[in-house]
Amino acid sequence: MKRSFSRRGFIATSALGTGGLLAARTINLDPYPLTFGKQKVSPSDRIRFGIIGIGMQGSGLLAGAVSLPGAECVAAADLYDGRHTLAKEITGNPGLYTTRKYKELLDRKDIDCLIAAVPDHWHKQVVVDACDAGKDIYCEKPMSHSIADGFQMVDAAKRNNRIVQIGSQRVSSNLCKKAREMYTAGAIGDIENVELSLGRNDPTGAWEYPPPTDLSPATLDWDTWLNDAPKIPFNSERFARWRCWKEYGTGVAGDLMVHLISGMLFTLGWNEHPRSATALGGIFRWKDGRNMPDLHLVLFDYHGVPVFVRLGLGTEAPEIARFMGPKGIIDAGEFNLRHAPQAGIDLAPSYYDSGFPGKMRQEYEAKWYAEHAPKLGQEPINQEVNYSGHDWDDMRPHILNFFEAVKSRKPVVEDAVFGNNAAIACHMANESYFRGKTVYWDEATNNIKS
């Protein structure tokens, strides 16, 4: 069909001369890590911390923490002796105090606060013990291993008036901050739906980690490591690959989605759990004895706003949070934020007029242009803007936020209530998957119901 003013033609012309989407501009956000120099810090501003769990994540947290001005690690606890050696290597202090018993750190008066990076099934006990001992604590995500754990942790923080920071570090990134500013300023209008997705496609991405080569019942306190999980004989794969089993971990939901959910809550200024979750998934690719799904799709209801999540360990795909509203899209990624504004109006006569007889079509189009064509000099300009920022996975801004709160007693960016809300979404996603049906939040019992 030949049309004198095709929609595509109009948009192309508009983009050139009379508005439409212009080529993207890129704006670099302030590279705040530059401020993390080794500036002088007065003795009263120094922060002395202890660390519990110096594995894959704890080693990065420790390196990040000691790089902050005035921060000093004075003790490290881990159930595996190899990680005592590692803590000494990272701090460059061969005399660093190390122990298998984290409770020794709780009793020390010279420790201002703690950082904990233990597997999920240990989070509650470590946080509750720390708060009860009067210590502030940074605890890794997902905050809890179960719904009940989360509420006990919130209670322990409140009861003891302790600072608890949960470790979804992207909420302290300049990219998340900018996304929140943009949303709050109305960049896309009121949110209508959110899409969160990521994909991996390799054994390491699927948590098939190589156990430390000297791991044995002699170098690891295996019974304590198991905590409340069923007692089983020493198993080095369980130690290294604990994420694969629900007895210790929380699956792709708790391991990966929790970051996307935390970033979403922060961006939108929400602090809540979903009303319902409907999940589908399975173990499609990694049939290695795990009991957590390697493909997990979830549809959440957040006070009426649908949030769709796709997490997969079988196909590599970018990690992205897409926020959609009547005025456009914000796409949030690890290094970039893209804002694509949309006018939400017709830019040409409706193509429905192809079903009008010729004279009627001509009259309709003439009237449309008379009423809607932009006046010269008043053309709408929809310019896509990219913000490039520092890696949203850098932990240092998030640890710094915690250390500052320990000193100032001001709230942290991701406290126990926020962490609990994000973790509840993960538990609801897992419960829906295991029960094979939609699950709902029950306000009366603070628990999940089918």
Ligand X SMILES: NC(=O)c1ccc[n+]([C@@H]2O[C@H](COP(=O)([O-])OP(=O)(O)OC[C@H]3O[C@@H](n4cnc5c(N)ncnc54)[C@H](O)[C@@H]3O)[C@@H](O)[C@H]2O)c1
Q: Quote the least distance from Cβ 159 to ligand X, whole Å.
A: 22
Contact status, residue 404 vs residue 252, Cβ threshold 8 Å: no
Cα of 32 vs its chain's centroid, Å:
20
* Residue 166 makes contact with ligand X by CB under 6 A: no
Task: Report the SS3 class of residue 99.
Answer: strand
Question: Quick one: which of 140, 195, 319, 431 contacts ligand X (CB under 6 A)?
Answer: 140
CB of 339 or CB of 390, closer to ligand X:
390
Nearest-angstrom CA–CA distance, 33 and 349: 50
Task: State the minimum distance, in angstroms, from the CB of residue 181 to ligand X.
Answer: 23
Rank residues 290 and 339 by Cβ distance to ligand X and give the closer one. 290
53 near ligand X, rule: CB under 6 A: yes
* Closest to 99 in 3D by CA, of 145, 50, 153, 56: 50
Site string for ligand X, 100-139 (x = CB under 6 A): --x--------------xxxx-x-----------------
Measured CA to CA, the distance from residue 170 to residue 258 in angstroms comes to: 11
Site for ligand X in 387-446 (CB under 6 A): none
Among 19, 20, 58, 274, binds ligand X (CB under 6 A): 58
Residue nearest to ligand X (CB): 55
Give the nearest distance from C-beta 64 to ligand X in angstroms.
11
The CB-of-247 to ligand X minimum distance in angstroms stands at 13
Candidate list 73, 75, 76, 79; residue touching ligand X; CB under 6 A: 79
Residue span binding ligand X (CB under 6 A) among the ranges 63-71, 78-86, 153-161, 430-438: 78-86
Answer for the pair 179, 330: CB distance below 8 angstroms, yes or no: yes
**Contact flag: residue 56 with ligand X (CB under 6 A):** yes
Our CB check for ligand X shows the closer of 255 and 353 to be 255
**Measured CA distances, 328 to 234, 382, 404 (Å):** 53, 10, 36
Rounded Cα distance between 330 and 271, Å, is 20
CA–CA distances in Å: residue 393 to residues 128, 169, 265, 408: 26, 6, 17, 25
* Identity of the residue, 118 or 188, whose beta carbon is nearer to ligand X in the bound complex: 118
Kindly identify the residues of this chain, within the stretch 219-258, that bind ligand X according to CB under 6 A: 224-225, 255
| Residue 325 token pair | 């509203």
Identify which of residues 78 and 136 has a Cβ nearer to ligand X in the complex: 78
Q: Using an 8 Å Cβ cutoff, are 137 and 113 in contact? A: yes
**Which residues, in sequence order, are CB contacts of 39 under 8 Å at separation 6+?**
69
**Applying CB under 6 A, does 165 fall inside the site for ligand X?**
no
Q: Which of 83, 145, 177, 339 binds ligand X (CB under 6 A)?
A: 83
> Which of residues 119 and 312 has its CB atom nearest to ligand X in the complex?
119
> DSSP secondary structure string, 354-417?
GGS-HHHHHHHHHHHHHHHSPPTT---EEEEEEEE-S-TT-SHHHHHHHHHHHHH-PPPSS-HH
Residue closer to ligand X (CB basis): 263 or 328: 263
Please name the amino acid found at residue 19: G
CA 208 to chain centre: 22
Task: Write the binding mask 254 to 293 for ligand X: x where contact by CB under 6 A, - elsewhere.
Answer: -x--------------------------------------
377 residue type, one letter: G
Size of the site for ligand X (CB under 6 A): 24
Q: How far is the CB of 439 from ligand X (least distance, A)?
A: 22
Nearer to ligand X, 77 or 321 (CB): 77
Please state, in angstroms and rounded to a whole number, the distance separating the CA atoms of residues 73 and 91.
7
Strand pairing report for 295-302 and 276-282: antiparallel
Say if residues 164 and 406 touch (Cβ distance below 8 Å). Answer: no
Residue 323 binding ligand X, by CB under 6 A: no
Contact 137, 164 (CB under 8 A): yes
Among candidate residues 99, 98, 146, the one with its CA nearest the CA of residue 125: 146
Query: Minimum distance from CB of 114 to ligand X (Å)?
Result: 11
Please give the full DSSP string across 241-263, using - where no structure is assigned: -GGGSTTT--HHIIIIIHHHHHH
Among 18, 169, 197, 432, binds ligand X (CB under 6 A): 169
Backbone angles phi, psi at 105, to 5 degrees: -70, -30
Q: Rule CB under 6 A: say whether 55 interacts with ligand X.
A: yes
Contact, 323 vs 329, CB < 8 A?
yes
Query: Distance between CA 131 and CA 116 in Å, rounded?
Result: 13
Q: Which is nearer to ligand X, 122 or 387 (by Cβ)?
A: 122
In the complex, the smallest distance separating the C-beta of residue 204 from ligand X, rounded to whole angstroms, is: 12
Tell me how far, at minimum, the Cβ of 295 lies from ligand X, in Å: 19
Determine if 78 is a binding residue for ligand X (CB under 6 A): yes
Whole-angstrom Cα distance, residue 257 to residue 8?
Answer: 38
Q: Minimum Å distance from CB 83 to ligand X?
A: 5
Name the one range near ligand X by CB under 6 A: 54-62, 189-197, 292-300, 438-446.
54-62
Binding site for ligand X (CB under 6 A): 52-53, 55-58, 77-80, 83, 102, 117-120, 122, 140-141, 167, 169, 224-225, 255
